[in-house]
Structure 1
Amino acid sequence: MPYETSQVPAPQWLQQTALPTACAAPATLDWLFDEGSLTRRLTRLSADHFSVTPLVEGWQTLRADECLALGLTPGSQGWVREVYLRGHGQPWVFARSVAGRAALLDGGLDLEALGSRSLGELLFCAEGFARQAIEVCHYPAAWLPTEHAEANLWGRRSRFDRGALSVLVAEIYLPALWQAAATLENR
């Protein structure tokens, strides 16, 4: 793993109703709480110059906040997939998706086979997945790849459930996305 996640205190993940007023600009909140597919939105923003770059994939001990969100015992093993979602070749979003080992093995979802395909798009297209509430936070810099380890970046996460299988997807918005959105959405 290219960076340390276990010794960093977990942020407080908040739903939109629990956020302090005026905590973020309306455009930021629109991106954070958009319930549609982020992959589709990034594809539109990039005029179809969207790609996924896998960084880390494999079985790991899940973080305490992930175990809590998935209803797993602390220290549980799970599949971890970290990727960059890119527009025009630039990393716009860092995404970390996790699922508990037993539920994933029984749930019929082969995350190992995704390669450079978008997990988010799969979850939106696969039958039976229900998205739970979106939560947001300022993501810990120490949990980001070194080249993007910046404090106070907005992140969001939500859990996708299908039967006993739950997949927790966290998406952290990198500065290049905000620059692209400000430029390209105003054209």
Structure 2
Amino acid sequence: MPHSTAPRTAPSWRLQSQLEPRPDPSILDWLFDEGSLTRRLTRLSNDGFSVTPLFEGWQSLRADECAALDLTEGSEGWVREVYLRGHGEAWVFARSVAARSALQGDGLHMDELGSRSLGELLFCDQAFQRRAIEVCHYPQQWLPVECRAPELWGRRSRFDRGALSVLVAEVFLPTLWLAARAHPENC
């Protein structure tokens, strides 16, 4: 079941220039790193990286997702929720969405990824253009029960290839910050 319960107030997604107060520089570095998060997590985990699918399927997209993808509110799309893990430990919760209309006939088979990383696929295809990274304190109601916590930093960005747009949101869990502090040489 996807984790899309409506929060009391919608998150305020902001660009780096709009952040006040600013988080710690080490957190900012992770939030606004424009490289592949999959590659960075693989490096931090010394190749102990894995993806655990939690939910994949068609559903109505959230209002903030529709706005980010320039869709009519309530549009249907493919939703993929996963944990990105280091040595079996959940480090990042990720939610990726794309409109049904854009996916049909595009050749991107989000429904066939399984335990492969969508991010790696997006970064390997030079045709995808990444838009600006936005961040917020991700609503805990949108997280799986086992990792819910207040004030977790999340980021999202939109990847465009022709008529296809994929919105990728990544929420950094406390376990990631512990691993990054324990192994700064791998960050």
Moved more, 100-109 or 157-166: 100-109
Matched, 1:35 2:34: yes
Cα distance in 2 between the residues matched to 1:51 and 1:3? 21
Following TM superposition, the consecutive aligned residue runs of length 4 or more in structure 1 with deviations greater than 6 angstroms are: none
Cα distance in 2 between the residues matched to 1:4 and 1:158? 18
Which residue of structure 1 aligns with residue 137 of structure 2? 138
Letter in 1 for 2:135: V
Which residue of structure 1 aligns with residue 14 of structure 2? 14
Please report the TM-score for the alignment, with normalisation by the length of structure 1.
0.96
For 1:181, what is the secondary structure of its paired residue? helix
**Runs of 5+ unmatched residues, structure 1:** none
Letter in 1 for 2:111: E
Pairs within 5 Å for 1:71-90: 71-90=70-89
Query: How far 1:2 sits from its partner (Å)?
Result: 5.4
Q: Does the 8 Å contact 2:52/2:82 carry over to 1? A: yes
Pair 3,133 (structure 1): closer, same or farther in 2 beyond 3 Å:
closer
For 1:107, what is the secondary structure of its paired residue? coil
Deviations 1:49-91 (A, max 9, x none): 0000000000000000000000000000000000000001000
Pairs within 5 Å for 1:61-76: 61-76=60-75
Pair 4,122 (structure 1): closer, same or farther in 2 beyond 3 Å:
closer
Cα distance in 2 between the residues matched to 1:3 and 1:136? 18
Pair 8,80 (structure 1): closer, same or farther in 2 beyond 3 Å:
farther
Q: Does the 8 Å contact 1:5/1:63 carry over to 2? A: no
Matched, 1:162 2:161: yes
Q: Does the 8 Å contact 2:84/2:94 carry over to 1? A: yes
Letter in 1 for 2:13: W
Query: How far 1:3 sits from its partner (Å)?
Result: 4.1
Task: Say how many residue pairs are matched.
Answer: 186
For 2:104, what is the secondary structure of its paired residue? helix
Q: Does the 8 Å contact 2:2/2:81 carry over to 1? A: no
Deviations 1:15-45 (A, max 9, x none): 001111x420000000000000000000000
Which residue of structure 1 aligns with residue 174 of structure 2? 175
Query: How far 1:8 sits from its partner (Å)?
Result: 4.3
Cα distance in 2 between the residues matched to 1:55 and 1:84? 7
Pair 53,72 (structure 1): closer, same or farther in 2 beyond 3 Å:
same
Q: Does the 8 Å contact 2:7/2:141 carry over to 1? A: no
Cα distance in 2 between the residues matched to 1:16 and 1:131? 15
Matched, 1:128 2:121: no
Please report the TM-score for the alignment, with normalisation by the length of structure 2.
0.96
Cα distance in 1 between the residues matched to 2:7 and 2:23? 28
Q: Does the 8 Å contact 2:130/2:160 carry over to 1? A: yes
Letter in 1 for 2:151: N
The two structures, once aligned, show a CA RMSD in angstroms of: 1.3
Query: How far 1:5 sits from its partner (Å)?
Result: 1.9
Which residue of structure 2 aligns with residue 117 of structure 1? 116
